[in-house]
Amino acid sequence: MRIINEIKSSGMKRIISTTAAPGAIGPYSQAVEANGTLYISGQVPIDPATGKIVEGGITEQTTQALKNIKAILLAAGYTLNDVVKSTCLLSDMSDFKAMNEVYAQFYTSEQPARAAFAVKGLPLGALIEIETVAVKQ
């Protein structure tokens, strides 16, 4: 798979886009960098190869959302170690423990600050959406 990273700069702001993660499904950017801080839009568990939500439950969906975040971080020149804050939106708080187990596999040390909320619904019927903020160390 050929990965295309597009970085558009306008003054103090860079727009980040990569085909290694799903494209925006609305009027927003995958990520925006401003003054050394990267803001990644909420990632739902869409497989960029198919454009569809991955099959399975919260484990598979959390894994895909975090893979999408990792791909955007890499496209912008960041790593998971640069992540300082995550917000996890869950369609059902009973999935919290299983989500946490997958999350811990991606953030193995110096874990970012995090909030987790149950919400009434997520785009495309997803079980999870994760937004991320990273800062160049």
Q: Where are the domains of the chain?
A: 5-135
pLDDT of residue 24: 86
- Overall average pLDDT of the 65-78 stretch: 98
- Is 84's pLDDT higher than 90? yes
- Is 60's pLDDT higher than 90? yes
- Is 1's pLDDT higher than 60? no
Antiparallel, parallel or unpaired: β 83-90 and 46-47: unpaired
If DSSP states are collapsed to H, E and C, what string results for the chain?
CCCCEEEEEECCEEEEEECCCCCCCCCCCCEEEECCEEEEEEECCEECCCCEECCCCHHHHHHHHHHHHHHHHHHCCCCHHHEEEEEEEECCHHHHHHHHHHHHHHCCCCCCEEEEEECCCCHHHCCEEEEEEEECC
Q: pTM value? A: 0.91
Average pLDDT of the chain?
Answer: 92
C-beta of residue 83 within 8 angstroms of C-beta of residue 120: no
- Overall average pLDDT of the 33-59 stretch: 96
pLDDT of residue 5: 57
pLDDT of residue 2: 44
> From CA 95, how far away is CA 137, in angstroms rounded?
32
Tokens of 46: 């869409």
- Overall average pLDDT of the 13-20 stretch: 94
pLDDT of residue 98: 98
pLDDT of residue 26: 86
Domain 5-135 maps to which CATH number in 3.40.50.300, 3.30.1330.40, 3.40.50.1460, 1.20.1250.20? 3.30.1330.40
Q: Please report, as a single letter, which amino acid is at residue 59.
A: T
